[in-house]
Every structure is written in C-alpha cells, then in structure tokens.
Copies of this chain bind each other. A is one copy, B any other.
Amino acid sequence: MKKNKPKYKQIIDAAVEVIAENGYHSSQVSKIAKKAGVADGTIYLYFKNKEDILVSLFQDKMGQFIEKIEQETNARQTAEEKLLKLVETHFEQLSADHHLAIVTQLELRQSNKELRQKINEVLKRYLAVIDQIVEEGVEENLFRRNMDPRLVRQMIFGTLDETVTNWVMKEQRYNIFEQAEEVHTLLVHGLSEPSS
C-alpha cells in the first residue's frame, strides 16, 4: 500500500504547505516536489496526476478530521451535547492547523468541478454524523420532528463553513473556538427568543 510509505505523506504535507503559502494557482507540481525533497517525476510514482494529490490530501486530512469528530461526539450523551462537541471539534481542529484551514476553506475551492465533486464524496461521512445527531435529537424530543434532513444538514454545515471561512479570510485574527457555544445556541434555538 503506497499510502503508508514515507514519501506519500511527505508529498501530501508538502502540498498543504505549498498551497497555503503560495495559493492554489501558484502551486506547481515542481514546487511541491521541491518542498517534499523528491524529484518531479517521483510524484507520479505515488499519485496518478496533480488532481490526485489534492484529492488524496483532502481524503487524508478530512478523514482524520471527521474521525476525530465521530469519536468526540460519540463520547457525549445527548444530541445537544453532541452537537456542541461537533462545533467545538470542527473549530478546534482547524484552529490547530492554520495551513490546513487555508487550504480547505480558500484554496481548494478554486479547483474545478470534478475535483469538488470528489471532495463532496469525502464530506458525505461528515454529513452522516450530522444526520445521526439530529435524528437522535428528534428521538430525544429535543429537536423538532419532520424537519427536512437535507435542509438541517445544510444549515449546520453552511453555518460552520461560512464561519470558518470568514475567520480564515480575516487572517485568523480572533479566536474562533470561543464562538463555538454561541454558534451552537444559534443552531439549536435560531434567532428567536426562547419564549416566543
């Protein structure tokens, strides 16, 4: 399995750095190779083509990202706690790796439609976690019944994604982790007064 060879990881990590520092469109294969300390041609022993580097990068990093979220949310009891943990872990992980945050929120979005379609494949696992939590919330009579799962998913993911993107675009000048609770409240209670 190529994925376990050291050069595979070297190249992925080099790609994250190079893209974060130079931007998507200035990240030539040769730059990635140089940063990874291998020859240009070597890249093609581990990846089919340039797109494959990016897809693998996303699968790898997002795989870990989602796995962590799965673990953390599973360790909580109620749907509300799980959702809070999801928001926190989402923010926490991207806070912890600034390069990765730039790459996933800004640079990789410049990729073409096909690449984005493959990226969406990876995200399905994340969306499944959301769906699961919401379902549990409904069963616990915490969340409303009869909500369209797709819309719920889009609200939750859209809110988190937009929040992180704004934070990255503001060059990460504030602490996004501190906002997890308020975001969670917004998702659970919306805009309205609890009583209204």
Interface residues of A (CB under 8 A from B): 23-25, 83, 106, 109-113, 116-117, 120, 134, 137, 141-144, 147-148, 150-152, 154-155, 157-163, 166, 169, 179, 182-183, 186-194, 196
- The reply to whether B141 and A193 contact each other, CB–CB distance below 8 Å, is yes
* A187 touching B155 in the complex, CB below 8 Å, given contacts A120-B169, A142-B193, A193-B144: yes
Q: With a CB–CB cut-off of 8 A, which chain B residues contact A186?
A: 147, 151-152, 155, 190
Which has the most chain B C-beta neighbours within 10 Å: A111, A113, A120? A113
Copies of this chain in the oligomer: 4
Q: With a CB–CB cut-off of 8 A, which chain B residues contact A117?
A: 169
Q: With a CB–CB cut-off of 8 A, which chain B residues contact A110?
A: 109-112
- The reply to whether A154 and B166 contact each other, CB–CB distance below 8 Å, is yes
Quick one: which of B113, B163, B193 contacts A106, CB cutoff 8 A?
A: B113
Quick one: which of B106, B112, B163 contacts A158, CB cutoff 8 A?
A: B163
* A135→B23 CA distance, assembly (Å): 37
Some 25 contacts from A to B, beta carbons below 8 A apart, are: A23-B112, A24-B112, A109-B109, A109-B110, A120-B169, A137-B191, A141-B196, A142-B193, A143-B191, A144-B189, A147-B182, A147-B186, A148-B182, A151-B179, A151-B186, A152-B191, A155-B162, A155-B163, A158-B159, A158-B160, A158-B161, A158-B163, A188-B190, A188-B191, A188-B192
* A163 touching B154 in the complex, CB below 8 Å, given contacts A112-B25, A148-B179: yes
* A109→B105 CA distance, assembly (Å): 11
Which has the most chain B C-beta neighbours within 10 Å: A120, A141, A144, A152? A144
